Structure formats: structure tokens, C-alpha cells
Amino acid sequence: MAPTGRHVRMPYCTAYDVSEDAITALRSYFPLAATSAQLTAAGRSTSAPA
């Protein structure tokens, strides 16, 4: 996808795996389809949605 210059809101969730008091893995989840829709929506302003 080409740069659009648009602002988007991206809700996300981050999950950590912990073992023996150390973080062993990190995973972030976010709705890629919703983010893509914000970037490609026709006629959308360049500010983030309310």
C-alpha cells in the first residue's frame, strides 16, 4: 500500500509470555482489516476518527 498521509486509530492487544520472572515472548494483535479500511476509505479526512 502506498503512503497516504492519513492518521488512523489502531486498537491493539499485547500478550507476554513469562517464565522464571523473564519475558520470553511478546505478541501484538491488531485489526489489520480495520486499519487498512481507514487508509483506503474514499473521501476520508486526514485526521483520526473521533
Extract the runs of DSSP E, i.e. beta strands, from the chain: 13-19, 22-29
Say whether pTM exceeds 0.85.
no
Report the residue count for the chain: 50
Does 44 score more than 60 pLDDT? no
Q: Which of 16, 7, 17, 13 is nearest to 39 (CA)?
A: 7
pLDDT (0 to 100) of residue 46: 53
Name the helix (H) or strand (E) containing 4. none
Tell me: the pLDDT tens digits for 3-40?
788 888 888 999 999 999 999 999 999 888 888 888 88
Q: Specify the higher pLDDT residue, 50 or 28.
A: 28
pLDDT (0 to 100) of residue 6: 81
The neighbour count for residue 8, using CB atoms within 10 Å, is 14
Which of helix, strand or coil describes residue 26? strand
